[in-house]
Homo-oligomer: A and B are copies of this chain.
Amino acid sequence: ADVKKIAVIAGDGIGPEVVAEAIKVMKKTEELFGYRFEFEHGLFGGIAIDEKGTPLPQETLDICKNSDAVLLGAVGGPKWDNNPKELRPETGLLGIRKALGLFSNIRPANVFDCLKDASTLKPEVLEGTDLIVVRELTGGIYFGEKFRREGAQGQEAVDTCVYNVTEVERIVRQAFEIAQTRRKKLASVDKANVLETSRLWREVVNRIAPEYPDVELEHVLVDNCAMQLLRRPSSFDVIVTENMFGDILSDEAAMLTGSIGMLSSASLGEGAFGLYEPVHGSAPDIAGQGISNPIATILSVALMYRLTFGYHDAAEAIERAVKEVLDAGHRTGDIAVDKSKAIGTVAMGDLIVNAI
């Protein structure tokens, strides 16, 4: 079979542990489905700062550019938190998104039946929650000009939020298309009553909406959306929004499912290429203990199979295996009710591999 190149950037904290389990899963699907993967590892984030003096070494970027998909663990940790900007893991994250043209971040937030008690929301409110946040990832206030200057009132800092029509159009189209494959509802989130970028955003959404007549569109102000996610989470299907709002709302949505250790994400550009990573962070407090939950990373592989490779059978096999293992009562510490019965990272990975 066709060999697919996978760039593996395990990163910091629990990154390497969870990525190792995801790779085991990929190898199992090589055997079972006849796929062929070639893995190339790259340094990224804190570990790259330590070993190469930069969070995103050119070599790592080249490995990614040379690959069909990227599997990312997690980056960051207190060790680098007070570094100057160029020497911070997050700077690598922003850099890789921009360099690879990953303008779209897809964040499913769905509730795992067997975990719905883990949410702080009432189960009856959560019932049926299954939404995707589509976040613009390479524009807005994240990438606009930033500087300091002396003003009349002392030093001032400036951030610039910029969006052009093309940037808005491509992300909004993608969101409409995703909605068409789902429950056909799109909520476009902005702050059009205050921001010029939001007014442009809304104009573009309204202009292209008629091309997707089967999708029901609503405009929601960002402050209202933060409320409605709490009040009626199950009423959302696809939410599309700009970079900063997406950062906040996708984390809020993830947390309300109670399944943060289980959620995967994809960052996509124009073609099939994508970067896949768990939603959770590097969890430095539990790194190296072998107790982290590898499921979000394993499910990120399933997302990769679907979105980049069109390996739908294997994606489904992985998702089914995860469900089976959870239904059988196996839990890592983060999702265990009875912590004394929790199993480790490798044991969870093995169980899922065997269930595929």
Chain A positions within 8 Å of B, measured between CB atoms, are 88, 90, 94, 120-122, 125, 141-142, 144, 146-148, 151, 153-167, 191, 193-197, 199-201, 222-224, 226-227, 230-231, 244-245, 247-252, 254-256, 260
A196 contacts B157, C-beta separation under 8 Å:
yes
**A236: shortest Cβ distance to chain B, in Å?**
14
> Of the candidates B122, B156, B230, B249, which one forms a contact with A165 in the assembled complex, judged by CB atoms under 8 Å apart?
B156
A231 contacts B255, C-beta separation under 8 Å:
yes
A165 contacts B154, C-beta separation under 8 Å:
yes
A247 contacts B230, C-beta separation under 8 Å:
no
**A230: shortest Cβ distance to chain B, in Å?**
5
A193 contacts B88, C-beta separation under 8 Å:
yes
Main secondary structure of the interface of A (DSSP, over half): helix
CA gap between A194 and B246 in the complex, in Å: 14
> Of the candidates B160, B223, B254, which one forms a contact with A160 in the assembled complex, judged by CB atoms under 8 Å apart?
B160
A146 contacts B248, C-beta separation under 8 Å:
no
A154 contacts B141, C-beta separation under 8 Å:
no
CA gap between A223 and B223 in the complex, in Å: 14
> Of the candidates B156, B222, B255, which one forms a contact with A248 in the assembled complex, judged by CB atoms under 8 Å apart?
B222
**A213: shortest Cβ distance to chain B, in Å?**
21
Do A165 and B153 contact each other (CB < 8 Å), given the known contacts A226-B248, A227-B251, A251-B226?
A: yes
B151 contacts A94, C-beta separation under 8 Å:
no
A197 contacts B230, C-beta separation under 8 Å:
no
A199 contacts B157, C-beta separation under 8 Å:
yes
Residue of B nearest to A219 (CB): B81
A164 contacts B159, C-beta separation under 8 Å:
no
**A352: shortest Cβ distance to chain B, in Å?**
26
**Residues of chain B lying within 8 A (CB to CB) of residue A249:** 226
**Residues of chain B lying within 8 A (CB to CB) of residue A151:** 164
Residue of B nearest to A253 (CB): B226
**Residues of chain B lying within 8 A (CB to CB) of residue A248:** 222-223, 226, 245, 248
**A75: shortest Cβ distance to chain B, in Å?**
11
CA gap between A200 and B147 in the complex, in Å: 10
A147 contacts B227, C-beta separation under 8 Å:
no
**Residues of chain B lying within 8 A (CB to CB) of residue A120:** 121-122, 125, 230-231
CA gap between A141 and B248 in the complex, in Å: 16
B163 contacts A160, C-beta separation under 8 Å:
no
Residue of B nearest to A169 (CB): B154
**Residues of chain B lying within 8 A (CB to CB) of residue A255:** 226-227, 230-231
Do A158 and B166 contact each other (CB < 8 Å), given the known contacts A146-B195, A196-B146, A251-B224?
A: no
Do A163 and B156 contact each other (CB < 8 Å), given the known contacts A223-B251, A251-B224?
A: yes
**Residues of chain B lying within 8 A (CB to CB) of residue A245:** 248
**A-B pairs, 5 with minimum CB distance:** A157-B200, A156-B164, A146-B196, A154-B165, A227-B255
B226 contacts A141, C-beta separation under 8 Å:
no
CA gap between A244 and B256 in the complex, in Å: 22
**Residue of A142, A163, A194, A244 with most partner-chain B CB within 10 A:** A194
Q: A157-B201, A158-B162, A227-B251 are in contact. List 15 more A-B contacts (CB 8 A).
A: A90-B193, A120-B121, A144-B158, A147-B196, A148-B200, A153-B165, A153-B167, A156-B163, A157-B163, A159-B197, A226-B226, A226-B255, A230-B230, A230-B256, A248-B248
